[in-house]
Amino acid sequence: MTALPRSGTTHAWVVERPAPIAAGPLRPVEREIPEPGPHELLLGVRACGVCRTDLHLAEGDLPPRRPRCTPGHEIVGEVLAAGRSADGFTTGDRVGAAWLAGTCGQCRWCRAGRENLCPASRYTGWDVHGGFAGHTVVDARYVYPLPAGLPDEDAAPLLCAGIIGYRALERAELPRGGRLGVYGFGASAHLTAQLAVARGAEVHVVTRSSKAQRLALELGAASAGPDTPPCLLDSAILFAPAGTLVPKALEALDRGGTLAIAGIHLTDVPPLDYERHLFQERTVRSVAANTREDGRAFLAEAARLRPTVRAVRYPMREADRALADLASGNVTGVAVLVPP
């Protein structure tokens, strides 16, 4: 069990003012350890993945919702204290907190099992403080038990990179044994590709990074290159936040193929040519966060498959360097912050 610091304070990073990462938008602070509310858990952070969404928030691609918010939504934590209505958890439990932090539970989207579309949804590291910190508070109704035997730094990326990749793969409607194109090969893509291969898919990766190409082939991809897949695709997932890749991905789809766009942020999409990009019942879909059922289903599948997680460890005190490396393309796999 992680002991509470005697000072009653914890170290954390906050987005002081959104700006290009080179301008240093993250600042280290010291703040009081929060008390968990009725449905909340106080976690001692054991590891926190660094997601491209954290970069979008730091740089202002996503407008801030909470001043001086602490990023980080791939949190592996140890339960230190629980609110009076946080049932099912005891001190010392290891849990995971992900991007979806809360929903209203009453709107038509929530009632239909599509809580990821709830207009009142809240997100970890955007609406509430996240895991770039020694301690954080999370809603117990939105956390996940984690598979035993999985190291903290391997479990952390599963909580967003893995879950969002899972939902994107479901949205792509890949037929059994079909050909999947993966555009961009970072944290989420390197997990999703393994999931697709395990399901019997033929995976073709498009990425400019030679290191990422080698990793893709090591993880079972049929091809990996900087431009166009060597065959027509049944489905594709766009992980890179580059709208210019949308026409290229659509052009590589076979008849009836589906493109799922996995990112929360995307640069402008160029004009599409109906005949080349959309005719013959090609489909474009976005991916909006995830439901808790997505999280449970993916973590159960990951517990069976045990995907290889290419984790690059950074001390928690170097969160700014981890984001800078992510921005410059110097992370092959996924960056993970670990406390002292």
- 48-98 pLDDT per residue, tens: 999 999 999 999 999 999 999 999 999 999 999 999 999 889 999 999 999
- Please state the rounded mean pLDDT for residues 279-300: 97
| Consecutive H or E run containing 238 | strand 233-238
- Please state the rounded mean pLDDT for residues 320-336: 94
Tokens representing residue 295 in the block:
């999280």
* Residue 271 binned pLDDT confidence (cut-offs 50, 70, 90): very high
List, in sequence order, every residue forming a beta bridge with 78; answer none if it has no partner: 44, 94
What pLDDT is attached to residue 53? 95
In 3D space, the residue among 81, 186, 40, 68 whose CA is nearest the CA of residue 125 turns out to be 68
pLDDT surpasses 60 at 165: yes
What pLDDT is attached to residue 7? 52
Amino acid residing at 149: G
- Please state the rounded mean pLDDT for residues 278-282: 97
If 0-12 CB within 10 Å is exposed, 13-18 middle and 19+ buried, where does residue 2 land? middle
Question: What is the rounded distance in angstroms from the CA atom of residue 298 to the CA atom of residue 317?
Answer: 30
- Please state the rounded mean pLDDT for residues 37-45: 96
In 3D space, the residue among 54, 78, 90 whose CA is nearest the CA of residue 136 turns out to be 78
Predicted TM-score (pTM) of this structure: 0.93
